Amino acid sequence: MNSSKRQSVTKSDLEAFERRQKASFVSKTEFKREIAKLATKEELQREIAKLATKEEFDVVRKKLDEVADQVVLNTTDIRELKQNLARVESTMNTKFDVVLQAIDGLAGKIDSHQTEQAAVLHSLSHHDRQLDDHERRIEKLEVGVELR
């Protein structure tokens, strides 16, 4: 480098640098205090012993596979049940429509019969009045013939 571009370092710059360097280092006491916070080899071994072994993981994995297979079977069964239910529902709707149509037909016939019966009753009532009227006139004629 060219000497004209170099910056000169003062004594205060060097002291500041030294302070920063000292601040980045920890004392031996602080270092021991920090190390004491960490787990010891025995503590780590005790914790590792609590963890599952490969065999235990394999047992769990096998059970999970069995559960997954059962879920797939159940899902298939549920899908089939839904399809069967849809077919039953469709059949029931068709049969219900047939029953409703039959009921509608019967209701129509009942209405027709009731209307016809009302007409017959009206006609009978009219004929009864007519017969009564004829009977009175015949009686008058018979009385008139007897008088002569």
What are the domain boundaries of the chain? 14-147
| Pairwise CA distance, residues 106 & 99, whole Å | 10
Structure confidence by residue, pLDDT tens digits, 1-13: 454 566 677 888 8
Structure confidence by residue, pLDDT tens digits, 81-124: 999 999 999 999 999 999 999 999 999 999 999 999 999 999 99
| pLDDT score recorded for residue 144 | 78
Q: Which whole-number Å values give the CA distances from 53 to 49, 61, 64, 66, in the listed order?
A: 9, 12, 16, 20
Flag whether the pTM goes above 0.75. Answer: no
| pLDDT score recorded for residue 6 | 64
The string of DSSP codes covering 3-72 is GGGPPP--HHHHHHHHHHHHHHS--HHHHHHHHHHSPPHHHHHHHHHHSPPHHHHHHHHHHHHHHHHHHH
Least confident of 17-26, 37-46, 121-130: 17-26
| Pairwise CA distance, residues 21 & 31, whole Å | 16
| pLDDT score recorded for residue 115 | 94
Which pLDDT band, with edges at 50, 70 and 90, does 143 fall under?
Answer: confident
Averaged pLDDT for residues 34-42? 85
